Structure 1
Amino acid sequence: MSSVLLVEDHASFSESFAMMLEGVGDLEVVGQAVSVGEARRMSSLKPDVAVVDLGLPDGSGADVIRDLGELSPETKVLVLTASVEREEVAQAIEAGAEGFLHKSSGMTEVIDAIRRLVAGEVLLPPEETIALLRLAARRREEWHRQRMAVMKLTPREIQVLEALAEGLDSEEVARKLGISVETERTHIVNLLGKLGAHSRLEAVVIAVRHSVVEITRAPKSYL
């Protein structure tokens, strides 16, 4: 009998899935977690396989996978998610997931995947795994580059970003900061260059991602 931990924040899906698994003679659901924190606590169950969704209320499924790798290294992880974002899948693979299936997959396919993981198979082809790991590495490098860039912003440039995050246009930013529109545009050019951004909106997104500013209201369309 192989033990299975379900990590899924949609209770109806998790319960239905658990009932179907319980009807399989060689699989036993030993726990159902709805969050990263709960999955961390349930890692003590040492399940043979963890079926993990990527979108969780207090973090990412990749966080669960990393926790299991530390607390229950023998546990195999099958990602079962509605996400089709390769970046999220890449993060999960980098964290240690051995398989990936979309939630649209049939129950027979999911059960077969769990059994194959228990048997020691890796479900992702080597070439796809390598491609996803490379993608994760590129995204990590990009995040680090952006982090270094935002640390070099001047106080005035941060003020400009804060004004942009409020949804202000060029004239409104200039008026708020007591500068000319030409000076505001010079700051924008410098900001875009430092952050490697192609638009005001992208600059704000990068600043928000690295906690430099916060979105205080729905922004206007940046040009």
Structure 2
Amino acid sequence: MKHIVILEDHSDAQQWLRAVAEQALQPDSIAIYGTLSQALAALEHSQPDLALVDLNLPDGSGLEYISAYQQASNTAYSVVTTIYDDDLHLFPALAAGAKGYLLKEQSKSKLVAALQGILEGEPAISPQISLRMISHFRELERKKNLGSELIKQLTPREIEVLSLISKGHTANECGKILTLSKYTVSGYIKSIYEKLEINSRAEATTIALSHGLI
């Protein structure tokens, strides 16, 4: 790992992650960006070997960077570094292309070990996240069977919106992609939730994953 990017807006966390990355991987260089726009601008000129990405940024979502990085590099390796361990953050991140998901609350030694594992082909995933994923996939078949009947009720446009929101896009972003107003998209999302009998984006992502929509 010669070049590493850290996308994180809090200065203390920036230095903490820098120390972790230096100890784990001894890179030639580490670039730190505090905003999404800065990181995306840099991505146009060079792609890192590894990106440690926070999800909540002052000017957008880390998911946007992960997606752009995936498109820019065939060897993109993004690892989410966050405080969030819930499905609403986890699965959209994985769908966007993240290859790892680490909780910043872990000790430095555990984070170092997780990053070192990348060199051995091991995914950088916190134990709590692994357990959540196992639980998720145990439920996947049950939800897939239920979703198979309910998803038949969706219109082609609703299928498109479901696919996009499951990838982490906001209503506004969906509108731009589909050339619709964000209010029209919000109406589709409401209809999707009602037809699928769900209440969250995490549940929508689960159903979309099980039906190959992302």
TM-score class, shorter-chain normalisation, is: 0.5 to 0.7
Asked whether 1:128 is paired with 2:168, we answer: no
- Backbone CA RMSD of aligned residues: 4.1
**Cα 1:193–1:40 shift into 2, 3 Å:** closer
Q: Which amino acid aligns with 1:34?
A: G
Q: Provide the TM-score with structure 2 as the length reference.
A: 0.56
| In structure 1, C-alpha distance between the alignment counterparts of 2:106 and 2:100, rounded to whole Å | 13
Question: Which protein, 1 or 2, shows the higher relative CO under an 8 Å CA cutoff with sep ≥ 6?
Answer: 2
**TM-score of the pair, normalised by structure 1:** 0.54
State the secondary structure of the residue aligned to 2:5: strand
Q: Which segments of 5 or more consecutive residues in structure 1 lack a partner in the other structure?
A: 149-191, 203-223
Q: Percent identity?
A: 22
AA partner of residue 196 (structure 1): E
| Corresponding position of 2:82 | 81
Q: Deviations over 1:15-45 (max 9, x none)?
A: 2332454355723442111122212123243
Structure 2 gaps of 5+ residues are 163-189, 200-214
- Give SS of 1:115's match: helix
Find the aligned partners of 1:95 and 1:101 in 2 and give their Cα distance. 16
Q: What does 1:1-223 correspond to in 2, within 5 Å?
A: 2-23=2-23, 26-43=26-43, 44-123=45-124, 128=133, 131=137, 144=158, 196=194
Question: Could you tell me which amino acid in structure 1 is paired with residue 99 of structure 2?
Answer: E
Q: Distance in 1 between matches of 2:9 and 2:15?
A: 10
- Tell me, what secondary structure is at the counterpart of 2:101? strand
**8 Å CA contact 1:2, 1:118 repeated in 2:** no
Larger Rg over CA atoms: 1
> Could you tell me which amino acid in structure 2 is paired with residue 22 of structure 1?
E
Q: How many residues align?
A: 153
| SS state at 2:32 partner | strand
